[in-house]
């Protein structure tokens, strides 16, 4: 993480079609996205100067905006190119990229039909989402108080800013108890995900993961499933109840920021950092670095 506040970092930010100085990328306090969470975003990682699955992320950004009822006035191709140019201008090889689109400040109220749709893209260096030493041993998760809502009550297929409010609350509560993160259930009481990553379990050489019917089917999640199946490892997507955690041998998280992170503990349940988890950590690391992979081949 940055050692200085994010509004004081150096460099440039892509803002509504232009590169502006980092300190000049500002919005008004009466911006609709701030008051009513009418904003969607993406999290992407660059490895060796290439942004992993960039177009998939940008396509999801467009789809998230559509679900929230607005259209981003830049195409997928234009946003992809802006991300690449920004990475180059920042001079980073390995970095985190954050595009965000939001309704502006032209109207203030629940209804904001005429508000401008804004888009910015920032890029910074972010080596590891979790403490690197703890990550190798497996991080500890608390059980979150808040639950993922019924899709009939929230736009769960959108990577929308408002859906992360309960994630922040849950992660803060977990950290206050000495945990790294929290596992969230859904409104039915089934296992859902962590606060910013999908969750996987291993038992008897088979991987089990919740069906993403009320939370994001993450791009990293799909990548890990594909990597496992390439290895001939069976992956079962199904409803998982909390009392099943006692029978699982391994657990790990998968997300753009988290990458593949082993879990050693969820509340009273304990897990090993086992062979399948370590294998997928290594396979994912190889997958995201295409230049090194091609050189090895």
- List the structure tokens of 221: 């999640």
Q: Is residue 159 among the annotated active site residues?
A: yes
Signed CA dihedral, 29, 69, 56, 254: sign only: positive
The answer to whether the CB of 180 falls within 8 A of the CB of 130 is: yes
- List the structure tokens of 129: 């989402």
As a dihedral over the C-alpha atoms of residue 31, residue 35, residue 36, residue 37, rounded to 10 degrees, the angle is: 80
Cα gap 102→31, rounded to integer Å: 9
Cα gap 194→244, rounded to integer Å: 17
Active-site pick, 157, 159, 171, 203: 159
157 half-sphere exposure, CB direction, 13 A CA radius = 9
C-beta atoms surrounding 162 within 10 Å: 16
Q: Write the DSSP symbol of residue 35.
A: H
Q: Which residues are catalytic?
A: 159
């Amino acid at each position: 993480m940055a050692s200085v506040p994010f509004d004081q970092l150096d460099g440039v930010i892509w803002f509504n079609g232009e590169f502006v100085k980092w300190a000049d990328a500002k919005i008004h306090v009466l911006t609709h996205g701030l008051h009513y969470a009418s904003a969607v975003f993406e999290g992407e990682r660059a490895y060796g100067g290439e942004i992993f699955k960039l177009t998939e992320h940008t396509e999801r950004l467009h789809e998230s905006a559509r679900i929230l009822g607005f259209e981003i006035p830049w195409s997928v191709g234009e946003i992809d190119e802006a991300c690449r140019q920004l990475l180059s201008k920042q001079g980073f090889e390995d970095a985190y990229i954050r595009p965000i689109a939001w309704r502006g400040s032209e109207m203030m109220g629940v209804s904001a039909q005429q508000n401008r749709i804004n888009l910015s893209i920032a890029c910074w260096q972010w080596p590891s989402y979790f403490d690197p030493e703890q990550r190798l041993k497996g991080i500890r998760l608390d059980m979150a108080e808040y639950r993922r809502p019924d899709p009939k009550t929230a736009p769960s297929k959108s990577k929308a800013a408002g859906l992360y409010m309960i994630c922040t609350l849950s992660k803060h509560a977990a950290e206050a108890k000495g945990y790294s993160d929290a596992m969230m259930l859904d409104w039915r009481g089934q296992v859902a995900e962590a606060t910013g990553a999908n969750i996987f379990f291993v038992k008897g050489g088979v991987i089990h993961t919740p069906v993403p019917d009320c939370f994001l089917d993450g791009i990293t999640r799909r990548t890990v499933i594909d990597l496992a199946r390439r290895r001939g490892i069976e992956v079962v997507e199904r409803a998982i109840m909390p009392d099943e955690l006692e029978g699982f041998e391994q657990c790990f998280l998968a997300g753009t920021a988290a990458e593949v992170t082993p879990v050693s503990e969820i509340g009273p349940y304990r897990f090993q950092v086992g062979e399948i988890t370590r294998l997928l950590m290594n396979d994912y690391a190889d997958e995201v670095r295409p230049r090194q992979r091609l050189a090895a081949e």
